[in-house]
A = this chain, B = another copy of it.
């Protein structure tokens, strides 16, 4: 029987290498190669006819992150099953990734046996959720989450731009200039986001944005 082929995309070489060992230890799977980021993946996919069955995709990577990479795969290699693989258990991130077309979302603290199960399920059913992810999504659906229930409506471009600049030492006046809008309009965005995220101050906004990976904090 032909083994299912897996590609690993993760900037943590040590992790990628170790994970490769783990996957290769499973009878049904084998790792074709692993790469450090989205750009490298695309290069490899373009230059090789050997299309993998599964891509294990990290989200936080330098150069080209998981979201951008996922978009490219969806556009150009829609037949590949993508499992997102991240330490980030924030709802915004999970939903964003699944919306982009990931077939499952694994947290890096997953137990190796569940990982094996995930690989198999994504091959047979085309979908897998880890338990904690499922719980998070359920909470979201039922609105049981104080802070995270806002993830439904996604931010408009202009709001996101504002948010990014708000996570900066700029004053609102400077942000307004940067965005070529009136300070009053900026104030409107501010108020909208405060309500949306249920925060009380710009500090709260920054913390929320960082915790939910809406801006890259580092």
Chain A residues close to B by CB (< 8 Å): 11-15, 17-19, 21-22, 25, 36, 87, 90, 106, 108-112, 115, 166-169, 171, 199-204, 206-207, 210-211, 217-218
Contacts and interface: CB of A to CB of B under 8 A. Distances in A.
Nearest to A19: B18
* Most B Cβ at <10 Å: residue of A14, A109, A169: A14
A66 to B, nearest CB: 15
B218 A14 contact: no
A14 B19 contact: yes
Given A210-B217, A217-B207, A14 B115 contact: yes
B15 A199 contact: no
A138 to B, nearest CB: 21
B112 A169 contact: no
13 contacts: A11-B109, A12-B87, A13-B111, A14-B110, A14-B112, A14-B115, A18-B18, A18-B22, A21-B21, A36-B109, A166-B203, A168-B207, A169-B207
A59 to B, nearest CB: 13
B25 A108 contact: no
Given A18-B22, A19-B18, A211-B217, A13 B110 contact: yes
A203 B25 contact: no
Given A17-B22, A36-B109, 18 more contacts: A11-B109, A13-B108, A13-B109, A13-B112, A14-B22, A14-B106, A14-B110, A14-B115, A15-B15, A15-B18, A17-B112, A18-B19, A168-B203, A169-B200, A169-B207, A203-B203, A203-B206, A210-B210
